[in-house]
Amino acid sequence: MIDDLRQFIAACREIDEIRDIDDADWREEIGALTEAAAELIDSPPALLFDSIKGYPKGHRVLGLPLASHRRIAVALGLSPGLSKIETMRAAAQRINQAQMAPLAPRQIEARQAPVMQNVVRDEQVDLTRFPVPLFHASDGGRYLGTGDSVINRDPDSDFVNMGTYRMQLHEPALLGLWMSPGQQGRQICQRYWDRGQACPVVATFGVEPATFFPAHTQLPWGVCELDVAGGLRGRPLDVVPGPLTHLPIPAQAEIAIEGEVPPPSEHAHDEGPFGEWPGYYSGGTRGTGEQQPVIRVKALYFRDDPIILSMPPLWTGAPEMGIDFKAALLWDQLESAGIQDVAGVWLHSRYLVVVAIRQRYAGHAKQAGHAVLSLSGVARNGRYVVIVDEDIDPSDLKEVLWAMETRVDPAGDIELVDGCWSTPLDPRMPPAKRQARDFTNSRAIFYAVRPFLWKDKFPEVSRSPRALRQRVMEKFFQRVAGRG
């Protein structure tokens, strides 16, 4: 397994998955190139930005680190030759194993930790020293926290949580913090605020993917993401106790901060707007009408020549991850909930979930559809759930649409479910519900399966078998592509 972001980059270079980009401007150019590459290139390479305008060489930004399933395989110690679905299944098994056999972090001394190569405290803290991108022209500011990990500790149970929440750079030592209602990090902050106290926090801005994955995944309350990271890695994560907060700081992080989140009634700030994953400006102060929490940064730690892990949410047609680990988590949760014969799970975006099953009994498809709405892997956000047969590749949108076109009778195979957990980021949230803080929406479940009671009489598929199509493409691709 890989210990830090630099080893991950080196391993990706070995399979030609990194492109070096020099002289880009942090004002919009990094954001635009990241977005264009994700949108226009199938399985785009990672982009390592260096010599960024106005900053010294060596102060880098890594874009699209996980937009290819091959790089996700590298991050988890899997073969990069696996298919998307094979990588998804192996990832689901790894996450399940990591939750079943977590490994608590190993505490080391500060002098052994690369993140402690540079230490800056109090009034000397200046986060503008890093090439923090302005991703879109209409963004409310620069965003340091996109591929970040925010760590805080529940004051009642001592549970340590690590989650990914966007962070705007307001001032050299002040960060904005956007956490949707219901997120565990926000619940912990609220318990401090209810006592009239500031919540101590640590945040990192560049860790290797096996440590980032748990922070980016919805795990049950009480499951420490740092422990799951150890399970994924197969060995404990090295951490340093924060001198100010006593919270664990991943020792191999590129950049880390310690600080506090005061009650919003004491200190809050306009946040955003920010181009979020729905493709609209719908969150932050503009979306809620409220100022948002801030992190008052008390200490800054960073490695020589630091690398910012950049994971800005992209328009849903250009996903930032080659496979979404929420889908891997959902696959495991479906099976744990008793859904039989799950053949595949895929998230084309946070709005579109596809689950393939081998139908075994009447009502099997409906059971699977309702389970998707209930399980934590994808319960939040969402709009459409599609249940397909096992002959459909859920990762292939063309096949999914074909199943919807040919196996769905709109009168009986589209089910609407209201009152589902949503988010202020939903651009379709009516103003009245937004004002009432009723952050719920409806979902549509498409049962794009052969009707169980007469599936044996359903017309036979006329396509060549998938294995044959793959074999002949490998045999004749050069001639078909005009290369030989």
List the 60-63 sheet strands across, edge first: 18-22, 46-50, 60-63, 307-310
91 — pLDDT class (breaks 50, 70, 90): confident
Q: pLDDT tens, 130-156?
A: 999 999 988 999 999 999 999 999 999
- Per-residue confidence (pLDDT) for residue 318, from 0 to 100: 60
Q: Hey, is 287 helix, strand or coil?
A: helix
Task: State the pTM of this model.
Answer: 0.84
319 — pLDDT class (breaks 50, 70, 90): low
47 — pLDDT class (breaks 50, 70, 90): very high
3-state helix, strand, coil in the chain (%, to 5): 30, 25, 45
Residue 307 tokens read as 């690398």
Residues of the chain with CATH 3.40.1670.10: 325-458
Residue 300 tokens read as 């800054």
CA distance 225 to 369: 28
CA distance 313 to 276: 5
- Per-residue confidence (pLDDT) for residue 316, from 0 to 100: 64
- Per-residue confidence (pLDDT) for residue 280, from 0 to 100: 82
480 — pLDDT class (breaks 50, 70, 90): low
- Per-residue confidence (pLDDT) for residue 332, from 0 to 100: 86
Longest dimension (CA), the chain: 75
Mean pLDDT of 336-364: 94
Share of the chain above pLDDT 70, in %: 98
What average pLDDT does the structure give for the chain? 92
182 — pLDDT class (breaks 50, 70, 90): confident
Instruction: Report the CATH superfamily, name and number, of domain 325-458.
Output: UbiD C-terminal domain-like (3.40.1670.10)
Mean pLDDT of 350-367: 96
Handedness of CA 403, 404, 408, 409 (dihedral sign): negative
Mean pLDDT of 5-27: 96
Residues of the chain with CATH 2.30.110.10: 5-310
Higher pLDDT, 118 or 478: 118
pLDDT for 111 beyond 60: yes
Mean pLDDT of 457-482: 80
Q: Which residues pair with 62 in a beta bridge?
A: 48, 309
Instruction: Report the CATH superfamily, name and number, of domain 5-310.
Output: Electron Transport, Fmn-binding Protein; Chain A (2.30.110.10)
